Amino acid sequence: MTKNTVFAESTSTYFRKIFLKKIQWHGFILLKLWVSFAVGWTIFMSPRSLVLI
């Protein structure tokens, strides 16, 4: 029981470090893409965009 919990904690921290590194590399680009997509989607779906077009 104790060994399993220690192993789970160590693996979770290990994967968290990898996850944080991946966020540092790709997160900013993904965030930019997501924000631009969300803005474009809201403009596309809003009825005001039909007036602008």
pLDDT of residue 21: 83
**Phi/psi at 46 (5° precision):** -75, 145
Spatial neighbors of 47 by CB under 8 A, at least 6 apart, are: none
Domain boundaries, the chain: 2-52
pLDDT of residue 6: 74
pLDDT of residue 18: 86
pLDDT single digits (tens) 1-53? 567 777 777 888 888 888 888 777 777 888 899 999 998 888 777 766 566 55
Rounded to two decimals, the pTM is 0.37
pLDDT of residue 44: 78
